[in-house]
Structure 1
């Protein structure tokens, strides 16, 4: 009945069958993908990919190690709101990648520290000089100053001795020295060769301890560093990130973010001090502190919220959940503690517990007008981000990157 049918050589039958199977499989895959896209389960933004399931990792760790690229991002969404949140997450990643401290920045600071320590030890052999603060913790940006702690355990150093040391260094290594009288006196200076700005203190060992605690949090979960960098930039943009002017220090902001991430129904991070007390003991010899948390494994969180969702939750938490008048932020306990009537917390507008010595890191906020401005900014940014889901409405990304 089919006189014009083409006759096929029997030797080619297996080949034709395999080709037919392959075509059927490809056709099925195409139909499945088309169905998923039409159902709204998969949405890939043109020119920008982001992963709600966090298939991204950092490529520029301060310790020089690399991981899978942040560029591999897939936006999984079930509706338009989720896609807007994913756009927000992508903006946060973009800002983080542009502003994070590079490994070369850290190497330059460490080189200066080692050189200064060699010169100091010619006069004071038992003295040690430590790099501390955001440069080492992993929460610094490219333009962050470097904090140094000079540890002299034999005897306290007076302001006169610190000034004399400054004169000694200024002959060959530093310029623009400035002594700041504070609760912990600070010597600010600029390295002549590298151009790095330094803040040096003496015997403030709690700063070394909390640096390595924060560094452990920074690399415990890959979402921690990006959200903290964005929050710090947001606070600076709105002028609520300057302890010298009665607002929040960067250290306090970091503790506030960590506290929020700890207190979610499904925590993003745990209390490292509770889970690894031997690594963060306040009585550990200061020279052993850098080695303490070396073997802590990465934390596996069941919380799969995107960066955008976490930023929205952070602003909401301090707008309508956290009780400023009744609670103390505690990263050490991973919860909000009841505010007692002790001198440390009495009549304080914001109470944030220092994880090692228990002092209030937010004591600089001592004026009600500044406190009200901080709360108002949290509320305003949360409301704006809820409506727009665009980071530019609370933090202009282009201007922030250029700075």
Structure 2
């Protein structure tokens, strides 16, 4: 959720007050509330009592920061019309990253937006099909895991969603030495910039490779975890 048009009265103290108020709400898990003040776009993260993760971001009314949330939503919705597999691959991979505590970008993990761009770029290059042809979701999943868990050269190339083969990093964006082995994704709404750098890419790559090696076991574990979460949630208890 993006809150736009915030005036100068929104400062770190205001964010902390809002975070405290959220902790007092019955529909919010108080222990999950995180106020992240130093991000480029301030954010408050929390989980509802129905186990729904929520990010509240704030855009200054006078800021030049581009709010790409609405643009991204429209882009993904258009893409799903051509690639309905996009939704299911993304949901499964999100649950997998969450299970391994690799889904928090503020701790070096891979957030939902960047994961969706990775899946989108993968389907653009490897998910094309002839008229009337249907893809096997299992095959697409395994190919994704093989690409990003084993074959992708994170230190040499960047990810983008313009439908072309992945360019070398030096071709598009200079890379600082300390980010030499990190994940970089070109911002689809500002191609001169990258939107993400994660310092845990090696752990993410290892986890994806583990998924590729033992898919049945891991899917079974994810399924059992989801069932347990449903039973423990207020909705599941009804």
Correspondence 1:374 to 2:204: yes
How far the C-alpha of 1:389 sits from its partner, in A, is 7.8
- How does the TM-score come out when normalised to structure 2? 0.71
Distance 1:375 1:196 in 2: 24
CA RMSD of aligned residues (A): 3.4
SS of equivalent to 2:57: strand
Correspondence 1:149 to 2:8: no
Distance 1:196 1:374 in 2: 20
- Label 1:327 to 1:398 Cα distance change in 2 as closer, same or farther (>3 A): same
Matches within 5 A, 1:235-314: 235-264=97-126, 267=128, 303-314=133-144
Contact preservation (8 Å) 1:148, 1:199: yes
- Label 1:400 to 1:187 Cα distance change in 2 as closer, same or farther (>3 A): closer
Deviations, residues 367-389 of structure 1 (Å, cap 9, x unaligned): xxx2221111121211112xx48
Q: Where does the alignment leave 5 or more consecutive residues of structure 2 unmatched?
A: 24-32, 61-65, 230-238
- How does the TM-score come out when normalised to structure 1? 0.44
Map of 1:34 onto structure 2: none
Contact preservation (8 Å) 1:262, 1:335: no
- Label 1:376 to 1:197 Cα distance change in 2 as closer, same or farther (>3 A): closer
SS of equivalent to 1:202: strand
Distance 1:198 1:229 in 2: 17
Length, aligned pairs only: 206
Distance 1:375 1:390 in 2: 15
Higher Rg of the two aligned structures? 1
Matches within 5 A, 1:196-235: 199-203=56-60, 204-235=66-97
Map of 1:184 onto structure 2: 41
Contact preservation (8 Å) 1:206, 1:357: no
Q: Where does the alignment leave 5 or more consecutive residues of structure 1 unmatched?
A: 1-146, 269-299
Contact preservation (8 Å) 2:89, 2:141: yes
Distance 1:320 1:151 in 2: 44
Distance 2:174 2:225 in 1: 39
Distance 2:59 2:147 in 1: 37
